[in-house]
Chain A
């Protein structure tokens, strides 16, 4: 069976600066795939390209056996790809509930949306309590739950999360990874971009490491976790970043 998502030979550039070069990756139904790499490795660009928010310069993206390479984001989201963006991108001029319902803005099955919204409130009681408050009142962790709830309401088959653990307390980070596992167990395929390498490798079925826009390593997460090159990929960049401070 063909994978749910398959990215083949994808290259993306911003102006003349290449951001991704010849990246291939696939996500099968029911799988969690993680994409790792240092800052600037092209992880976010990869997710944005899969969503259609940045154009592919070459290569192709197929979702559920259909070529979606030239499609704009709203068509791909309607097909079942949803993004939980980096920095969560909660709208502060909307209430918590309005933010949540924004995820369902293309859906016409209002009764089902209502039921699913209630289910999300059941899962995140903090959001239920604050449903009519401005979304800016939420803590970082709550905003992350809201962003995930919003993506769930789009009824995706593939959920992409861009550094969801960034800026969260350790307690919320473990809650978040529990949630990712739960969503996956319920049948959702997940493409996870993370800085928290250890956590990400512990939940993933497949992992890909990007370096300067190219696939450096890919395969079994356990094997990657033990690979000294992974440590180098991070430590090398990490030291460089620290030296600048």
Chain B
């Protein structure tokens, strides 16, 4: 029973982890808390749903959903971020929040506000190890999410593009003097974090077989919380925070009760932040990022 809940918790955590990494990429490099990301998470799930409803095969539906999220993120960059650069840092935060509400309501007009059933793609493919039941979709999602984060971390560490991103994260002025084309890099980062969020939304839809226009909100909150608890701007912090929140959520549902879940999860987060305000892997004194 406990082992089963841990598996379920890690699965949910993997989704929070991807959303947290998307947030941490945006805040670590651009210093921008991009609140349109939960909307792009929802776009990942809902556009996949919509395309499959039209009879498209799942892989094309996913591709369309990812493409839609990428294009929307470019709009967010243009309209909510680039134009607000001169002002206070809170301005793009609010304008990106505006995008979240806009996206939710556009999808609501098309599909209604009810929860919709997402078709089961990997039906009845369960592994049984001892008393443990592990779904195929669960294993695949967890493996793909972890592989994606490993790859991203490697990419940032070992490639020219990765070093460019980390340079911009530390100092835009130095990046300019080193010949880094920031005006090209920023939209690329928006697309990268949008793809992570939308991919997480697709994984959520596949695993929990339900989508709704508001599916991004709860996950988005927990993604931000995971990022902060892990340490802002740290990819491995986001991984740790995401998995921890997923575990805490599933375990408290099964052992304490569903009514208590948000109290235990956010109580735990509050406790961690009181003990370690910089987050689990955050480093307040240095400017180390990513």
Contact = CB atoms under 8 A, between A and B. Distances in A.
A93 B179 contact: no
Contacts of A37: none
Given A101-B160, A104-B160, A105-B160, A91 B167 contact: yes
Contacts of A150: 178
Contact of B180 (A76, A89, A101, A105): A105
Interface string B256-290: 00000000000000000000000000000011111
B169 interface: yes
B166 interface: yes
A222 interface: no
Contacts of A77: 178-179
A72 interface: yes
Which bracket fits the contact residues of A?
Answer: 20 to 34
B163 A93 contact: no
Nearest to A86: B177
B175 to A, nearest CB: 9
A51 interface: yes
A79 to B, nearest CB: 10
A2 interface: no
Interface of B: 160, 163-164, 166-167, 169-171, 173-174, 176-181, 286-290
B74 to A, nearest CB: 21
Nearest to A154: B179
A136 B286 CA distance: 10
B160 to A, nearest CB: 4
A92 B287 contact: yes
B174 A93 contact: no
B170 A102 contact: no
A106 interface: yes
A221 interface: no
A106 B179 CA distance: 8
14 contacts: A51-B177, A73-B176, A74-B180, A77-B179, A92-B286, A93-B169, A93-B288, A94-B170, A98-B163, A102-B163, A102-B167, A105-B164, A105-B180, A106-B179
Given A93-B286, A101-B160, A105-B160, A85 B167 contact: no
Contact of A73 (B179, B286, B288): B179
Contacts of B174: 85, 89, 91
